[in-house]
């Protein structure tokens, strides 16, 4: 049976992604000086200003306005004509300490295990499939790579007329669970006012789409839509407000798998929204790499202050080598999914987060991320 599935991504100059990067740059700055700092930093941007707010408890000092300006300038918003300039925009901060009620649940316990509890209640999902070498759905893998390529050709001078904001979208045709072809590619890219749309479309197909999408996936029926509205000059915070955590589907599996609802960026690893989602991806990817399933989704759930997850669910969508119930027991036996154990196993008290805040947290080939490692394959195979 033929089906079409679509995923989207955005560039680092998209206003929501600007906010994610600022928030995660703050996380990195604190963790690099105070590995046990507690951070819940959110950012919003609009024309002429960025505001950083949230709860931070740390023993170190960081210059939040300086960090925010550096992120904005590194993205490429360094000219007033772009509608946003990191040199001159206002930076507003509103920071409190972490609630002591939350801290009670997260601080190390006085019991014999000295465990930390989950920083909140909630449910988190992880997913993997064998559609790509990265164990990601093809649609989101391509959308993220196209978004990254859109930024690369701007920054390396291939397409100098591009500006930082942009979006990509890829529709993939499947036959059953098998990827057959790319049906549609949509790219919206911010640009200088003096370039024609015909030139933009020609350049985007030649310098962005063709280097990323395998020719075997493209055919004469593939549709290309570049700047469908006709122009895209006003973008970034001038064109739309931005907010941390508003691109959670872009960050994960492009809508192909379920999502628990919690954002990642701006949060230290005691927040299970982040760390347990990374752990669930780690589990799912190792299961698929071990060839125990062609497709695997993991759900973890936690109660605030409690170390052990309250539930572990495995769904292999009928592709598993044995029952999902047995698979869940195997996961329980082979993975320690307490927050402290996840933090230790994945080395999450290190400043690795800003690099995840654009182009996806999973399936990355341009950076090394600890939850992408395949270190449990043999253990899973031997535990069957």
Q: What is the pLDDT of residues 222-241, one digit of tens each?
A: 999 999 999 999 999 999 99
Average pLDDT of the chain? 94
Give me the pLDDT at residue 97, please.
84
Task: In whole angstroms, give the CA distance from residue 89 to residue 75.
Answer: 14
Written as one string, the DSSP assignment of 192-209 is: -TTS-HHHHHHHHIIIII
pLDDT band at 110 (very low <50, low <70, confident <90, very high): very low
Q: In the prediction, which pLDDT does 108 show? A: 59
The yes-or-no verdict on residue 41 having pLDDT over 90 is yes
Q: Which residue has the higher pLDDT, 108 or 196?
A: 196
Checking if the pLDDT of 105 tops 80, the result is no
- pLDDT for residue 113 is more than 80: no
Confidence of residue 100 (pLDDT cuts 50, 70, 90): low
What does the angle CA 265 – CA 166 – CA 171 come to, to the nearest 5 degrees?
90
Q: What is the pLDDT of residues 17-30, one digit of tens each?
A: 999 999 999 999 99
Q: What is the mean pLDDT of residues 334-345?
A: 96
Across the range 135-144, mean pLDDT stands at 98
Instruction: Report the C-alpha gap between 35 and 46 in whole angstroms.
Output: 31
- Confidence band for 67, pLDDT divided at 50, 70 and 90: very high
Pairwise pLDDT comparison (354 vs 97), residue with the higher score: 354
Per the model's pLDDT, the better-predicted residue between 1 and 355 turns out to be: 355
Give the containing element (helix H, strand E) for 45.
Answer: strand 38-46
CA dist 255 and 155 (Å) reads: 29
With 50 as the cut, is the pLDDT of residue 111 above it?
Answer: no
Q: Which pLDDT belongs to residue 7?
A: 98
Contact of 15 with 8, CB cutoff 8 Å: no
* Average pLDDT over every residue of 350-354: 98
Report d(CA 130, CA 282) in Å as an integer: 14
Q: How big is the chain, counted in residues? A: 384
Mind listing the pLDDT tens digit for each residue in 309-330? 999 999 999 999 999 999 999 9
pLDDT of residue 378: 96
175 strand-pairing partners: 2, 178
- Tell me the pTM: 0.95
Give the mean pLDDT of 350-366. Answer: 97
Question: Looking at residue 118, what is its pLDDT?
Answer: 85
Q: Kindly tell me the burial class for residue 8, based on how many C-beta atoms sit within 10 Å of its own C-beta (0-12, 13-18, 19 or more).
A: buried
Q: In terms of DSSP H, where are the helices of the chain?
A: 15-33, 64-75, 100-106, 138-155, 197-204, 210-212, 236-239, 248-251, 272-289, 324-334, 339-345, 377-382
| pLDDT tens per residue, range 128-139 | 999 999 999 999
Task: Work out whether strand 242-243 and strand 295-302 pair parallel, antiparallel, or are unpaired.
Answer: unpaired
Residues 6+ apart with CB under 8 A from 306: 105, 117, 118
Which range of 93-97, 99-103, 152-156 scores highest in mean pLDDT? It is: 152-156
Residue among 42, 55, 54, 88 at smallest CA distance from 69 = 88
């Amino acid at each position: 049976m033929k089906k079409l599935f679509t995923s989207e991504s955005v560039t680092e100059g998209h206003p929501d992604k600007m906010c994610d990067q600022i928030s995660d740059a703050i996380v990195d700055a604190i963790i690099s000086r105070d590995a046990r700092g507690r951070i819940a930093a959110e950012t919003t941007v609009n024309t002429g200003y960025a505001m950083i707010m949230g709860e931070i408890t740390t023993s170190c000092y960081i210059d939040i306005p300086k960090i925010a300006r550096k992120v904005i300038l590194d993205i490429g918003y360094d000219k007033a004509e772009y509608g946003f300039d990191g040199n001159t925009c206002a930076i507003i901060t509103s920071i409190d300490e972490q609630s002591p009620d939350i801290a009670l649940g997260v601080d190390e316990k006085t019991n014999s295990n000295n465990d930390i509890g989950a920083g909140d209640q909630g449910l988190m999902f992880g997913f993997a499939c064998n559609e790509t070498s990265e164990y990601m759905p093809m649609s989101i893998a391509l959308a993220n790579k196209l978004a990254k390529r859109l930024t690369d050709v701007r920054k390396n001078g291939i397409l100098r007329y591009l500006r930082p904001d942009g979006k990509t979208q890829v529709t993939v045709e499947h036959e059953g669970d098998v990827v057959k072809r790319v049906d549609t590619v949509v790219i919206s890219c911010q640009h200088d006012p003096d370039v024609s749309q015909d030139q933009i479309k020609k350049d985007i197909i030649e310098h962005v789409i063709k280097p990323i999408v395998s020719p075997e996936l493209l055919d004469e029926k593939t549709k290309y839509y570049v700047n469908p509205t006709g122009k895209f000059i006003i973008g970034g915070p001038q064109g739309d407000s931005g907010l941390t955590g508003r691109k959670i589907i872009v960050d994960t599996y492009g809508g192909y798998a379920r999502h628990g609802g919690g954002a990642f960026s701006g949060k230290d690893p005691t927040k299970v929204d982040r760390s347990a989602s990374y752990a669930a991806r780690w589990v799912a990817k190792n299961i698929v790499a071990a060839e125990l399933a062609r497709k695997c989704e993991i759900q973890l759930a936690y109660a605030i202050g409690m170390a052990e997850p309250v539930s572990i669910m495995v769904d292999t969508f009928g592709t598993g080598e044995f029952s999902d119930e047995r698979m869940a027991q195997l996961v329980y036996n082979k993975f320690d999914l307490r927050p402290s154990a996840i933090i230790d196993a994945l080395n999450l008290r290190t400043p690795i987060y800003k690099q995840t805040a654009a182009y996806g947290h999973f399936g990355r080939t341009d950076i090394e991320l600890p939850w992408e490692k395949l270190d449990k394959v043999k253990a899973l195979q031997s535990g069957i």
